[in-house]
Structure 1
Amino acid sequence: MRAARGPAPGEAAAAAVVSLPARGSLRSGLAARGRVAEREGVLKDGRPRLRAAPLDPPFRIVLVEPEIPQNTGNIARLAAATQSPLHLLGRLGFRIDERSVRRAGLDYWHLVTLEQHLDIAHFRHRHPNARLRLFSAVAQRSYLDADFRPGDALVFGKESVGLDPDLLARMPDDVFGIPTLGPVRSLNLANAVSIVLYEALRQVGALAGAAPG
């Protein structure tokens, strides 16, 4: 698995945020694969989908140094389904145009608002009004106890070690976790993001009034 190249000295200011293009190697040909089966607003058999109104401002999904391309691809599909911007921070454990990332995201990458940042500091500089909500397997409070607000940034660490302990220590009131009932160490990253994001959407009423259309 190839790691993305980190910025060279002097590149930091220019590389703070990289908005990936809406078309290109990552997205070329993907939309065509699903146009018939995934027409806007309609399922394969012609029935309308259950939809809710977009949230403004939206929740932001923030992945710090994600390592497994399939997870990021699945999270990209989630981001497209909920119109939540996806932010990738730091050194990635894969190339964003790798086949495994594309396959996991299917034909939804062109619908994702995607940004890359050097680190948390650069993300906060770019989005100063986004309140950070940190998620960790070693948290002392459940995500169900979090008070979500529209525009919050939902921050998740790398699959192997999670978020930096120093960051968690600096923001103890903003750290939450997902309880487990069995002996597993943690949940899959894509599953964890889905659980948290939909709870956040539920709390702020974004799912209320959903209707076919």
Structure 2
Amino acid sequence: MNIVLLNPEIPYNTGNIGRSCVLTNTKLHLIKPLGFSLDEKQIKRSGLDYWHLVDLKVWESYDEFMEANKGKKIYYATTKTKQKYSDVRFEENDFIMFGPESRGIPENILNANKDMCITIPMIKMGRSLNLSNSAAIILYEAFRQLNFNFNE
């Protein structure tokens, strides 16, 4: 599996997601610009002693990422769709993209990929769940569908 963070802003979230990626044998993709340095102690602190084990790929831009991953199945996590994450059939090498914490994936990307947008149901009171929680929820649903085959 692949988790993609488009312009992540909070190092603690990225560190937590990195730790989840290590423990599920999932590749983590970060698309610049990042809201922090990968050398910051916050990212390493939240990733604990797992951060150096993250299978990490950093991309200079969304366009570079898309060019390198043509034809790959990419799901876009958003609050702006009705299709639940549990309604899709994940496959072993799928990508699950999350946008920046403060604004999510840009509308133009979502509009160009409407059939691939997925959401986590919640009550209308809140805007969205925490990024690292959302990534864990969807990642573990994908692995549940794959019988928790982490390909160790």
Provide TM-score, normalisation by structure 1.
0.67
Q: Percent of aligned pairs with the same residue?
A: 39
Structure 1 residue aligned with 2:26, among 47, 68, 84? Answer: 84
Higher mean C-alpha deviation, range 139-148 or range 96-105: 139-148
- Residue 168 of structure 1 aligns to which amino acid in structure 2? L
Cα distance, 1:82 vs. partner?
0.5
Cα distance, 1:119 vs. partner?
2.4
Cα distance, 1:182 vs. partner?
5.7
> Residues of 2 paired with 1:182 and 1:207: CA distance?
34
Q: What residue in structure 1 maps to residue 81 of structure 2?
A: 139
> Residues of 1 paired with 2:71 and 2:50: CA distance?
27
Pick the structure with more helix per residue.
Answer: 2
Q: Deviations over 1:54-77 (max 9, x none)?
A: xxxxx1000000001100010010
> Residues of 1 paired with 2:124 and 2:81: CA distance?
16
Q: What residue in structure 2 maps to residue 110 of structure 1?
A: 52
- Residue 100 of structure 2 aligns to which amino acid in structure 1? K
> Residues of 1 paired with 2:16 and 2:53: CA distance?
13
Change (3 A) 1:182 1:207: farther
User: Which structure has the larger Rg?
Assistant: 1
Q: What residue in structure 2 maps to residue 50 of structure 1?
A: none
Cα distance, 1:134 vs. partner?
0.5
Task: Please provide the CA RMSD for this pair.
Answer: 1.5
Query: Between Structure 1 and Structure 2, how many residues are aligned?
Result: 150
Structure 2 matches for 1:53-202, cutoff 5 A? 59-181=1-123, 183-202=125-144
